Amino acid sequence: MASKINRRSFLKVFVTGIFSAIMGKFNKSSAAAAGSDIYMPRQLITKDSTTSRTIMWHSRNPHASLRVDVRDSGGNVSSYMGSGGLFQDDGESFYINKVLINRLQPGIRYTYQIIQDGATTPWYQLETSDNEKMEALIFPDSQCSDGYVTWGRVASGAFNAHPNINMFINMGDLVDNGEAAYQWRQWFNAIAAYMPSKIFVPLMGNHETYNLSWKCRIPHAFLNFFAVPDNESTVFQRYYYSFDYGPVHFIMLNTQFEEIDPLKPGLMEEQLQWLHGDVEASDKPWKIVLMHKDIINYDNLGSSDPMGEIDEVGKRFMPHFDELGIHLVFTAHQHTYRRHGHIYNFEPSDKGPVYVDTGVAGNCRYSVPRTQRFDKIMLPQPETDNYLTIRATSTDISVQCYLPDGQVGDSFVLTNSKQV
């Protein structure tokens, strides 16, 4: 849903920002080890999750030696060297460090440790995927106005309820304001206990493109914090990407063409051309798209125009999903869970991709009416926050939507690309 930007929310950000500056640039809980200069250690998805992983972290100072040691179950250790660079945003300066681990074996549970000029972190879990199965947690918009307390509660509840799931996806609008450094710290701190040991799969939302004046900007923080897989673009690197996990080819698209075009045109055109080549090159049995903005225009329900309930994102993307045989499309942005079901040629159908608007994992909620035509499943009203699990084998995909009390609010299965 369009961001509700007003003077009150800006003042709130401004006042909280001053408080954050007074409290120091990094919260203690974000440091990996007491007294170390290793902050926000995180594990990022790579294109081939069976053999590689990217490890990133922040530091206050530059360091000559940036290393990650990876240990297998037999105690054998392999070392990987990395690099770091200065990052300045929102009046703050720090270093972002990165190590690519790329000589792993499929389906193995390793541990890894960051070593920075002699300072070390604990050993964290690192598990590679195999080609048979996939499990992930999906979190909708996590933007918060409560210091990211709600995000921390939703995420930790999900991680604790599903301890064996080692990958998590965030659907975009991670933070309310993409330039506000204190919000990024709060977002990381809320899941600091899990971030180093779980694979993170980020998606860009429109709020990542906002500056402190609530105007659109190039989303520097998001683009620098998360070294996602290379899309071979010279213009829109890290804006969109794809990767394989088990039997699934994941395609992470960018719906922010309205926000980015005035700053740097051509995102949509380049992305669509890439999408066709990317999907056609994949031999995975399942093809799943994740993109931030939903495909329904909730401001125009009941329109006499047959296309009136489809928004601009839907009009631009959906014909390509039909043509490419995409099985599932997850969206977000509306902060409400809606299973739209199969849609083909812009019509409810028994074929075509299944569309799911994933809900909300923060405390910002909008009032969204129901479209009788496309909202097949809604959660009990008034809604609270929620998250999803997804599990796949080569023949089945199972999706569950969980409510805060652990109840399953929605559940469905795709078998050989048909919903049952």
Q: Which residues bind Fe ion (CB under 5 A)?
A: 141, 173, 205-206, 333
CB distance 414 to 393 below 8 Å: no
Kindly tell me which of 357 and 410 has the beta carbon lying closer to Fe ion: 357
Straight-line distance from the first to the last Cα atom of the chain, in angstroms, rounded to the nearest whole number: 30
Name 198's Cβ contacts closer than 8 Å, sequence gap at least 6: 43, 159, 165, 166, 167, 168
Q: How far is the CB of 256 from Fe ion (least distance, A)?
A: 9
Kindly tell me which of 134 and 175 has the beta carbon lying closer to Fe ion: 175
For 172-182, letters b (16+ CB in 10 Å) and e give: bbbbbbbbbbb
Q: How far is the CB of 326 from Fe ion (least distance, A)?
A: 21
- CA–CA dist 13, 152 (Å, integer): 19
Strands 53-59 and 39-44, bridge-based pairing: antiparallel
For 126, the enclosing helix (H) or strand (E) is strand 124-127
DSSP string, 178-192: TT-HHHHHHHHHHTT
Q: How far is the CB of 314 from Fe ion (least distance, A)?
A: 15
Q: How far is the CB of 207 from Fe ion (least distance, A)?
A: 6
Q: Identity (one letter) of the amino acid at 46? A: T
Kindly tell me which of 46 and 255 has the beta carbon lying closer to Fe ion: 255
Strands 248-252 and 83-89, bridge-based pairing: unpaired
CB distance 94 to 58 below 8 Å: yes
Kindly tell me which of 127 and 141 has the beta carbon lying closer to Fe ion: 141
Helix (H, G, I), strand (E, B) or coil at 82: coil
Kindly tell me which of 59 and 336 has the beta carbon lying closer to Fe ion: 336
Kindly tell me which of 327 and 333 has the beta carbon lying closer to Fe ion: 333
Q: How far is the CB of 380 from Fe ion (least distance, A)?
A: 21
Q: How far is the CB of 201 from Fe ion (least distance, A)?
A: 17
DSSP string, 153-214: HHHHHHHHH-TT--EEEE-S--SS-TT-HHHHHHHHHHTTTTTTTSEEEE---GGGGB-TTS
Kindly tell me which of 121 and 206 has the beta carbon lying closer to Fe ion: 206
Q: How far is the CB of 173 from Fe ion (least distance, A)?
A: 3
Closest residue to Fe ion in the complex (CB)? 173
Q: How far is the CB of 205 from Fe ion (least distance, A)?
A: 5
CB distance 45 to 86 below 8 Å: no
Kindly tell me which of 128 and 255 has the beta carbon lying closer to Fe ion: 255
Q: How far is the CB of 1 from Fe ion (least distance, A)?
A: 7
By C-alpha distance, which of 184, 192, 234 is closest to 208? 184
Kindly tell me which of 37 and 173 has the beta carbon lying closer to Fe ion: 173
